[in-house]
Structure 1
């Protein structure tokens, strides 16, 4: 399976072909215990909202109904927290760690600051997400479904770093011929939204959970203008409109309407590869190395029970969006897609980072 052909159906097919069955949970009891779910970003971003959504649901389904507390360890675009988690070896199931595309991308690009290895961790849940880019009202008035009227505007963007998930919007805006100057160093996308709200930034993007929680209100009030989503993948791997935001055009649509932007060729292939690695499987929950199989099985069963709730589709669509949730063996298969991109895409992005931002990964 390649990144360009990733779909949920393909993942499930591979699992079935391999003869992998979901294990039954052994007797594990978390009564009276507190589980710490560490998020390597600030408490204002989409990952925080994702974990805070799932945490109480998970607590209801784990045996013994433990308290699940979400804690934050921001720094270096999530590398600080991921490096810390790599050193943990909890075997009692009381430590859970959440990552996003901003953790995956430095790993994929060989960032020298990365000292973590995904293969050592135990994925128990993975979920997709989307992203929405938006403009301030003045510049939004120039947006007509294309970026043709935005090419003479100088934009400011609050960024976690060009090697993080932000490379997807940064490369997209460059492909559209827009002049977007990133201000690097923010600790989470929620901080980027705050910069936008204060007028310190003139363009922003949020993952779906962050957009639903805060940015959508600005758009509804006329204080921001939705520009585009990154889209979603259909069963055949085609980019289609995001099911959470069906009325907002995709980047592919905006690119097709914009002079000089191409949806084929080397640049497009690189953008698409990192979009697929960063969004259809965007957020993952891990138990640390050394976790006993019975604890892994217990978490798998608990997350499966969360997804099986009669009200899950309704409440999740309002909080984190309408996206696939993977558990157990499917989560392991999804992790493989999230941490694999073609060498050609890596080479292009590595060269682009050096040329555009002076970022060297050697």
Structure 2
């Protein structure tokens, strides 16, 4: 399957995909349900989970309490492993899926003990990425990126093989060399950027809208580019949440007079599909009985329908945006498809990571 077309896995599937239609035997009256988020509080996946939790509570039978528990560490591996080892298939524990969690699985990190492909996603949500700089660098927009090639850029990141790879490949494609300080989640890196310790940073569009836009409005931060989003023809277009910010491909073309191509672009597209088109999600553990899965599928379809409710619309616009949501079985197909790389792309990335970051996959 062409990497460009991975988005065609039923992301347009839309709000009732996979939802249960009949009565379900599962009832969560008096129960407490945990969404395990394998990241620090304040990051994109945490914001996503905390937005969905109270709405999900309202639509699950018995209206159980739904809490978010942050289990951060090792680029989301600690939380992923804990979920794999401890979560029972009783519907009382879900995991919040983010890009690093999926990427570490894809790149076969030896610390990964979780089997992501066996989990049962109930929702998979696209989410954009915005790369931004400190205005002290003298930039006013993405049109000024060429001037950053001579600057000493410093950026916080988690690791070279996690979800951050989408940005590392983008910077490399644009000829920007940054000193990365690894070991930091987005929720950790952003305060360092605010304090002036880093002059380059990136966030999910959800986190950008809530946490970074005030810095842009005050003149501290300047958005440089987004990774874009695919439209219904498969073309990568501007992110509808930040339509005034150019895409990586636009900036690349402005710098080089042509569209990106070759093995690096194929690798970039692979990471785009993994990190953008299936950026966030919720999943149940492997082996969860059908009646519980059906109950969650019905509930999550009702949750998505609530996004247009005036009570939630403002938050929904910021956190999930206008992007199509893949639900139920469609969510499973989307996530499994995005987490599968062909050998050529995997081997090229292995070589690139070894050369640039001395990382062996």
Q: How big is the shift at 1:257?
A: 1.0
- C-alpha distance after superposition, 1:136-157 (max 9, x if no partner): 0122426552521111011110
Q: 1:314 to 1:215 in 2, by over 3 A?
A: closer
Query: 2:218 — aligned with what?
Result: 221
Query: 2:285 — aligned with what?
Result: 288
Q: Does 1:124 align with 2:135?
A: no
Q: How big is the shift at 1:2?
A: 3.8
Match of 2:111 among 110, 113, 127: 113
**Unpaired segments ≥5 residues, structure 1:** none
Query: 2:137 — aligned with what?
Result: 139
Query: 2:92 — aligned with what?
Result: 94
- C-alpha distance after superposition, 1:235-266 (max 9, x if no partner): 12211101111111001101111148851111
Q: Does 1:212 align with 2:209?
A: yes
Q: 1:22 to 1:2 in 2, by over 3 A?
A: farther
Query: 1:245 — aligned with what?
Result: 242
SS at structure 2 position matched to 1:31: coil
- C-alpha distance after superposition, 1:194-235 (max 9, x if no partner): 110011111000001111111111001101101010000111
Is 129-138 or 311-320 further displaced after alignment?
Answer: 311-320
- C-alpha distance after superposition, 1:91-143 (max 9, x if no partner): 32110111111111121122222221122211111111001000001224265
CA RMSD of aligned residues (A): 2.1
Is 65-74 or 274-283 further displaced after alignment?
Answer: 274-283
Query: 1:323 — aligned with what?
Result: 323
Residues 116-265 of structure 1: pairs in structure 2 closer than 5 A: 116-141=114-139, 143=141, 145=143, 147-186=145-184, 188-259=185-256, 263-265=260-262
In 2, Cα distance between the equivalents of 1:245 and 1:51? 22
Q: How big is the shift at 1:63?
A: 0.7
Asked if 1 retains the 8 angstrom alpha-carbon contact of 2:7 and 2:273, the reply is no
- C-alpha distance after superposition, 1:164-206 (max 9, x if no partner): 11111111111111120100011x2111111100111110000
Q: 1:343 to 1:60 in 2, by over 3 A?
A: same
SS at structure 2 position matched to 1:226: strand
Asked if 1 retains the 8 angstrom alpha-carbon contact of 2:12 and 2:325, the reply is no
Asked if 2 retains the 8 angstrom alpha-carbon contact of 1:300 and 1:327, the reply is yes
In 2, Cα distance between the equivalents of 1:118 and 1:345? 20
SS at structure 1 position matched to 2:239: coil
In 2, Cα distance between the equivalents of 1:21 and 1:62? 16
SS at structure 2 position matched to 1:86: helix
Asked if 2 retains the 8 angstrom alpha-carbon contact of 1:168 and 1:271, the reply is yes
Is 224-233 or 330-339 further displaced after alignment?
Answer: 330-339
Asked if 2 retains the 8 angstrom alpha-carbon contact of 1:7 and 1:236, the reply is no
Query: 2:31 — aligned with what?
Result: 33
What TM-score results when the alignment is normalised by the length of structure 2?
0.93
Q: Does 1:275 align with 2:272?
A: yes
Query: 2:303 — aligned with what?
Result: 306
Is 280-289 or 140-149 further displaced after alignment?
Answer: 140-149
Match of 2:263 among 262, 266, 275: 266
SS at structure 2 position matched to 1:6: helix
In 2, Cα distance between the equivalents of 1:71 and 1:12? 28
In 2, Cα distance between the equivalents of 1:13 and 1:132? 23
**Unpaired segments ≥5 residues, structure 2:** none
Is 144-153 or 173-182 further displaced after alignment?
Answer: 144-153
